[in-house]
A = this chain, B = another copy of it.
Amino acid sequence: MPDEVDDFLERWHRFVSERDPALLDPLLAEDISLGAPPYWGRLRGRETVQHLLGLIVQTIEGFTYHRQWRDGRELALEFTGRVGKLELQGIDLITLDESGAIQKLDVLMRPRDAIESLQETITPRMQAFLAERSGGGA
């Protein structure tokens, strides 16, 4: 089991450094749920979460991981970065399933203006993705 966690962490850090959402394929459970910084309601399903995580790592500059906590399959990964000129600190709270894929992910960040700036950039792109997926294109 520890090997699965090590393997997950190696693949996760590769996804963030290469900013390539395709690298998430083996890392997300089919029924993954994500708690994003701006909203209380959760995003559900691999395809939707994969798209959002891709947008997040492509929007945050200088994404760097720092402290890392592990307790079995429960992980907490601290990061810093920038959105435009705004510095931010965040944490990924991750629950892995038995196969080592993410079942549940919560992303918490500070400060407030960085969350707002990230939201302004990402929300229209997420809405376009969801509209296209539901067949509601122009």
Contacts and interface: CB of A to CB of B under 8 A. Distances in A.
Nearest to A118: B112
A30 interface: no
Interface residues of A, number: 33
Contact of A36 (B69, B93, B110, B113): B110
25 contacts: A35-B89, A35-B110, A36-B111, A38-B112, A39-B111, A40-B87, A67-B71, A67-B76, A68-B71, A69-B69, A69-B70, A69-B71, A69-B74, A69-B76, A76-B76, A76-B78, A76-B91, A78-B93, A90-B108, A91-B91, A91-B108, A108-B109, A112-B115, A112-B116, A115-B115
A119 interface: yes
For the residues of A in contact with B, the DSSP-based class is strand
Contacts of A56: none
